[in-house]
């Protein structure tokens, strides 16, 4: 944010009006996307303030800034200072990951999260909607997936619920990217879709347990084609997250039919080749329904042939800068999450560590740096449900929001602390139960 002339506390003005003008086609009826223009300029000078943006997305961000410039003076009067701001985000992808499979999150909690995201200028909700533990997404094509795979019939997201989330997000300039992670992380899928998962073997007989999705059956890909055709119609964003992480090979190795298939294909004993075979087919399905794909880093690490433009999400903390260098050197866009796993909690002010990260801090050419789309704060749900989602997310994620929005030289920790304590109280006054940064109190 470039601020021409500092907003001094003594430069308070009496404001009669805020005029908002959108210069180009507003895009009011569209969905936001990765190229949406979020820039704006704001001039506060008595008696009228002017907010100017090319598109509605910039106007939304500018209105948020305007609301944060207002404060109460010692007499309780609502006050704003003269200022001149020209602002735009440093990165186009600024996301929050929520996990509704380990614990179901009621729609109310998701909508509240979208409100808080807008207060912090985040623009992507990465909805990790299903996993091993439960399948709450209610599919019209395959209703048994949630009938059998959800925790209970009240722990499901109906088509209406999903539409509500997408529209609520759209009105706040937030994209909703669903994640249907496979071939691992799919135990719940198998409950409602027969013959989808791989039967595991103990020696010569089936052990009554199941592993990842069975990659050797035509029925698998026909099922996935139909499922993703539906998902692509339900979720308007141009990207789907296809997962691809943490695939356990043990069950595949135990299955005689899979071993025969491996021989027939000439894969030898290299089960990464089988994983690649599967992922490539799923990537083809995604492009058939006109969606771009996002995958977790293992897909890249295991040398799956990726279509140009496939986005790789870097999540493993160890050597994540080197991983970014390798992925971008291969020409693929990157989303960084590795240093921002908010489910890892510790005593003290961990927000400082999140704040100090710079997503471009790796060795690579300017062209490589341009491939960094931004990042995501991930809040996995093993220990998170509606009771603690909000305080665990905020204001810790706010530090990441600033890192992804503001210029790289905005990094003074003391200044950030002072602003973040005020902002945390602002969120609390707006009904977001953000936890405290440290000792102190809120004025309101």
Tens digit of each residue's pLDDT (9 = 90 or more) over 11-20: 777 899 999 9
Single residue among 42, 61, 87 that ends a domain in this structure:
87
C-alpha distances (whole Å) from 429 to each of 256, 297, 379, 426 are 61, 39, 23, 5
Percent of the chain with pLDDT over 90: 93
In a domain, 443, yes or no: no
* Residues contacting residue 421 through CB under 8 Å, at least 6 positions apart: 437, 438, 440
Long-range CB contacts (within 8 A, 24+) of 67-71:
68/423, 68/426, 69/7, 69/44
Same domain assignment for residues 170 and 26: no
Domain membership flag for residue 444: no
pLDDT tens by residue, 394-426: 999 999 999 999 999 999 999 999 999 999 999
Are residue 329 and residue 390 in the same domain, yes or no?
A: yes
- The answer to the question of residue 4 being in a domain is no
Q: What integer pLDDT is reported at residue 6 of this predicted model?
A: 45
The token pair that represents 149 in the structure block: 């795979």
Please check whether residue 12 lies inside any domain of the structure.
no
Domain that holds residue 25: 17-87
Does the pLDDT at position 210 exceed 90?
A: yes
- Both 337 and 221 in one domain: the answer is yes
Query: What's the pLDDT score for residue 47?
Result: 92
Does 143 fall in a domain?
A: yes
Confidence of residue 444 (pLDDT cuts 50, 70, 90): confident
Q: Are 420 and 351 in contact (CB under 8 A)?
A: yes
List Cβ neighbours of 422 (8 Å cut-off, separation of 6 or more): none
**Tens of pLDDT, residues 21-37:** 999 999 999 999 999 99
As to burial, measured by CB atoms within 10 angstroms (0-12 exposed, 13-18 middle, 19+ buried), residue 366 is exposed
The catalytic residue positions are: 246
Give mean pLDDT, residues 163-183.
98
Contact between residue 258 and residue 216 where contact means Cβ atoms under 8 Å apart: yes
Of all residues in the chain, the percent with pLDDT exceeding 70 is: 98
Same domain, 126 and 32: no
274 with 410, same domain: the answer is: yes
Does residue 380 share a domain with residue 248?
Answer: yes
Pair of tokens at residue 244: 């691809």
Q: Which two tokens stand for residue 363?
A: 């060795």
pLDDT of residue 183: 97
Q: Say if residue 267 is in the same domain as residue 412.
A: yes
Q: Which position has the token pair 């109310």?
A: 108
pLDDT in tens, 59-95: 999 999 999 999 988 888 899 999 999 999 999 999 9
**Residue 5: which pLDDT band, with cuts at 50, 70 and 90?**
very low
pLDDT attached to residue 10 = 56
Q: Same structural domain for residues 256 and 315?
A: yes
* pLDDT tens per residue, range 284-315: 999 999 999 999 999 999 999 999 999 999 99
What's phi and psi for 174, nearest 5 deg? -115, 130
Q: Are residues 77 and 98 in the same domain?
A: no
- Check which CATH number belongs to the domain holding 202 and give it: 3.20.20.80
Asked if 101 and 136 count as a contact pair (C-beta separation under 8 A), the reply is: yes
Residues 65 and 99 in one domain: no
Q: How high is the pLDDT of residue 69?
A: 96
Structural domain includes residue 168: yes
Picking from 70, 87, 104, the residue at the C-terminal end of a domain is 87
Residue 442 lies in a domain: no
- pTM for the model: 0.96
Give the chain's domain count. Answer: 2
Question: Does residue 439 fall inside a structural domain?
Answer: no
Range in 3-7, 163-167, 339-343, 401-405 the model is least confident about: 3-7
222 and 149, same domain (yes or no) = yes
Residue 4 predicted with pLDDT over 50: no
pLDDT of residue 172: 98
Last residue of a domain, one of 34, 69, 87: 87
Which CATH number do you get for residue 79? 3.30.379.10
- The yes-or-no verdict on residue 3 having pLDDT over 60 is no
Section 237-248 average pLDDT: 95
* Residue 75, pLDDT score: 87
Is the domain of 71 the same as that of 159? no
Q: If you average pLDDT over every residue of the chain, what do you get?
A: 95
């Amino acid at each position: 944010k470039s601020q021409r002339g500092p907003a001094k506390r003594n430069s308070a003005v009496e404001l009669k009006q805020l005029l908002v003008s959108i210069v180009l086609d507003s895009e009011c009826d569209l969905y936001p996307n990765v190229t949406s223009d979020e820039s704006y300029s704001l001039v506060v000078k008595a008696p009228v303030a002017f907010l100017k943006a090319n598109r509605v997305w910039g106007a939304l961000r500018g209105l948020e800034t305007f609301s944060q410039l207002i404060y109460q003076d010692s007499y309780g009067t609502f006050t704003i200072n003269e200022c001149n701001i020209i602002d735009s985000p440093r990165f186009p992808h600024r996301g929050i990951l929520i996990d509704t499979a380990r614990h179901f999150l009621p729609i109310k909690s998701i909508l509240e999260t979208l409100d808080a995201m807008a207060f912090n200028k985040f623009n992507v909700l990465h909805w990790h909607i299903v996993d091993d533990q439960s399948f709450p997404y209610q599919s019209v094509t395959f209703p048994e997936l949630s009938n059998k795979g959800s925790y209970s019939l009240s722990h499901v997201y109906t088509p209406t619920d999903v539409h509500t989330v997408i529209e609520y997000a759209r009105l706040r300039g937030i994209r909703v990217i669903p994640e249907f992670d496979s071939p691992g992380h799919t135990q719940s899928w198998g409950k409602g879709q027969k013959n989808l998962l791989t039967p595991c073997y103990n020696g010569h007989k089936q052990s009554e347990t199941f592993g990842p999705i069975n990659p050797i059956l035509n029925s698998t890909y026909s099922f996935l084609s139909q499922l993703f055709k539906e998902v692509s119609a339900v979720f308007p964003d141009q990207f789907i997250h296809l997962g691809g992480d943490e695939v356990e090979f043990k069950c595949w190795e135990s299955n005689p039919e899979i071993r025969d298939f491996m021989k027939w294909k000439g894969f030898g004993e290299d089960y990464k080749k089988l994983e690649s075979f599967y992922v490539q087919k799923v990537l083809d399905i995604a492009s058939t329904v006109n969606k771009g794909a996002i995958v977790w880093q293992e897909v890249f690490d295991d040398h799956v042939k990726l279509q140009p433009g496939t986005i790789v999400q870097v999540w493993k903390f160890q050597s994540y800068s080197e991983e970014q260098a390798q992925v971008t050197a291969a020409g693929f866009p990157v989303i960084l999450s590795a240093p921002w796993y908010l489910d890892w909690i510790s005593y003290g002010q961990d927000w400082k560590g999140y704040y100090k990260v710079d997503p471009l801090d790796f060795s690579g050419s300017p062209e490589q740096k341009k491939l960094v789309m931004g990042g995501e704060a991930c809040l996995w749900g093993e220990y998170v449900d509606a009771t603690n989602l909000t305080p665990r997310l905020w204001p810790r994620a706010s530090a990441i929001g600033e890192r992804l929005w503001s210029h790289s030289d905005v990094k003074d920790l003391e200044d950030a602390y002072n602003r973040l304590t005020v902002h945390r109280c602002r969120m609390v006054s707006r009904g977001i139960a953000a936890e405290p940064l440290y000792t102190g109190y809120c004025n309101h």
